[in-house]
Amino acid sequence: MSTVVAIYTGQGLSERIQPLFREELPGTRLVSITDDSLIADVIGAGKVTPEVTRRLIQYYRHAEEIGADAILNTCSSVGEVADWAMPMFRTPIIKIDEAMAQLATQRFDRIGVLATLPTTLEPTRRLLHKEAAQQGRNVQILDALAAGAYQALVAGRPEEHDRLITEAAKSIADQADVLVLAQGSMVRMEEVLKQATGLPVYSSPRLGVIAVKDNLEKRKANS
């Protein structure tokens, strides 16, 4: 039985991820590590701090001690910490949004990025540009920040959260070929935004879980 450790920097996303693992990787032992102080500190500082980096790396170490065959980094705001830390660990660290970024940059020239946190926009932009460069492609990236949506969701106002994201999506829909949801927690909006804008909409949770599945299968085949 394979063991996957998923590391969360906030509440709520694990309830979305767990059913996907049951669908895509039945029988896998899934262990969740959640520390919502991480995203709170990133929001407070407006960036990933050295203290957040150290704590996240400690969780990667805990994952290895648990016996992880793969580590799923579920937060796009700290995805660049995972990039930096990967050489330090024998266990592969898979970023939840990497497969989504690869797919979007392969298929589309004008990519609209939706986020509810400003700290997620810039890392997602850099990830998309990185993936496009690796493919030898030039892409145009459009930002749309749904200001206040994250706070509305945390405060228990999901209708306001959804409305603000929909408004942000509509503001760039005419200029984009696809919409990319920068945070896994926005997956609830995927179908709503498809209907509201008529555009393809990509979210990271299922694609991230499939990336974990592919990694485990490749390692098993090579062992």
- Domain borders along the chain are 3-96+206-222, 98-203
Q: Among residues 200, 188, 198, 199, which one has the least CA distance to residue 163?
A: 188
Instruction: State the Rg of the chain over Cα.
Output: 17
Query: Going residue by residue through the chain (223 aa), what tens digit of pLDDT does each one get?
Result: 899 999 999 887 899 999 999 999 999 999 999 999 999 999 999 999 999 999 999 999 999 999 999 999 999 999 999 999 999 999 999 999 999 999 999 999 999 999 999 999 999 999 999 999 999 999 999 999 999 998 898 888 989 999 999 999 999 999 999 999 999 989 989 999 999 999 999 999 999 999 999 999 998 888 7
Return the sign of the alpha-carbon dihedral for residues 36, 37, 40, 42: negative
Round to the nearest angstrom and report the end-to-end CA distance of the chain.
Answer: 15
Q: What's the pLDDT score for residue 178?
A: 98
CATH class belonging to 3-96+206-222? alpha beta
C-alpha neighbours within 13 Å on the C-beta side of residue 192: 16
Query: Does residue 206 contact residue 24 with C-beta atoms inside 8 Å?
Result: yes
Q: Among residues 71, 63, 74, which one has the least CA distance to residue 11?
A: 74
Q: What's the pLDDT score for residue 12?
A: 78
CA 156 from centre of chain: 22
Return the sign of the alpha-carbon dihedral for residues 190, 191, 193, 199: positive
- Scanning the structure block, which residue is given the tokens 């949770």? 205
Q: Among residues 101, 64, 61, which one has the least CA distance to residue 79?
A: 101
Q: What's the pLDDT score for residue 223?
A: 75
Q: What's the pLDDT score for residue 10?
A: 85
Q: Among residues 17, 63, 33, which one has the least CA distance to residue 204?
A: 17
List, in sequence order, the alpha helices (H) in 46-189: 50-66, 79-85, 98-107, 118-134, 149-154, 158-172
* Domains 3-96+206-222 and 98-203 equal at CATH topology level: yes
Q: What's the pLDDT score for residue 11?
A: 80
**Rounded alpha-carbon distances, angstroms, from residue 69 to 28, 90, 180, 193, 217:** 10, 9, 28, 35, 11
Predicted TM-score (pTM) of the model is 0.94
In angstroms, the CA 157 to CA 179 distance is 23
CA 38 from centre of chain: 15
Q: Which CATH number fits domain 98-203: 1.20.120.1200, 3.40.50.1860, 3.20.20.70, 3.60.15.10?
A: 3.40.50.1860
Amino acid at 218: K
Return the DSSP state at 87: G
